[in-house]
């Protein structure tokens, strides 16, 4: 068997032959439509071009500023709204959702000190204003804040390998010995 005898079982798709006469079915216009820019070689039109008319993207208003991608939108609950709960009850974010005081269970909640509270309530939220905490403690209530997980520090992410840690430990030991000699 020679290299000339080798061939693939999957046949190549034949490329469309253009401009080989009208009998081929791809004669005269060669699948490019009529005359004009698109019929010429290199006559492609960039995306978003609308024939010289002002493009849609340029008609859109240009809003100044910047949208922070890491912004956290808190759902606000005022102290006054907590009067809907019973005295000495423990209120969670799910309880606030059931009473329709917030719209989403998974979004963080902030407690604000607008209005007056008449009951001693223990509430668990993500954030609370100083005035809200003061008013709650004045009524013998309690505000528990949910501590969000801190993002991993760069030091934790880039941990050195075993050999590197041994070298670091050796250097630290050498420093301690020098200090002890002095």
Query: In the sheet where 75-78 sits, what is the strand order?
Result: 75-78, 109-112, 127-128
Please report whether residue 110 resides in a domain: yes
Q: How many domains does the chain have?
A: 1
Q: How confident is the model at residue 152, as a pLDDT?
A: 54
Please report whether residue 153 resides in a domain: no
The first and second tokens of residue 25, run together, are 């079915």
Q: How confident is the model at residue 176, as a pLDDT?
A: 86
Q: What CATH number should be reported for the domain holding residue 106?
A: 3.100.10.10
CA distance 18 to 39: 13
Please report whether residue 21 resides in a domain: no
Question: Locate tokens 């912004």: which residue?
Answer: 71
Q: How confident is the model at residue 110, as a pLDDT?
A: 96
Q: How confident is the model at residue 157, as a pLDDT?
A: 54
Please report whether residue 140 resides in a domain: yes
Q: How confident is the model at residue 168, as a pLDDT?
A: 80
Give pLDDT tens digits along the chain (182 positions): 899 999 889 988 989 999 999 999 999 999 999 899 889 999 889 998 998 999 998 999 888 889 899 999 999 999 999 999 999 999 999 999 999 999 999 999 999 999 999 999 999 999 999 999 999 999 999 999 998 766 555 555 555 555 667 778 888 888 888 888 87
Question: Locate tokens 């939108």: which residue?
Answer: 73
- Answer for the pair 107, 73: CB distance below 8 angstroms, yes or no: yes
Please report whether residue 120 resides in a domain: yes
44's enclosing H/E stretch is none
């Amino acid at each position: 068997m020679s290299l000339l005898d080798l061939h693939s079982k999957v046949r190549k798709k034949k490329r469309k032959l253009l401009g080989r006469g009208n009998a081929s079915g791809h004669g005269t216009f060669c699948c490019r439509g009529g005359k004009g820019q698109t019929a010429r070689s290199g006559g492609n039109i960039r995306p978003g071009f609308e024939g010289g008319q002002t493009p849609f993207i340029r008609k859109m208003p240009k809003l100044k500023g910047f949208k922070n991608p890491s912004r956290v939108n808190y759902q606000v609950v005022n102290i006054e709204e907590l009067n809907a709960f019973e005295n000495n009850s423990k209120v969670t974010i799910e309880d606030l959702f059931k009473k329709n005081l917030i719209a989403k269970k998974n979004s963080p909640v902030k407690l604000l000190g607008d209005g007056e509270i008449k009951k001693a309530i223990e509430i668990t939220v993500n954030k609370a204003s100083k005035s809200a905490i003061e008013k709650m403690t004045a009524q013998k209530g309690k505000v528990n804040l949910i501590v969000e997980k801190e993002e991993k520090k760069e030091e934790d992410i880039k941990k050195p390998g075993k050999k590197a840690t041994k070298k670091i430990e050796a250097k630290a030991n050498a420093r301690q010995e020098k200090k002890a000699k002095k």
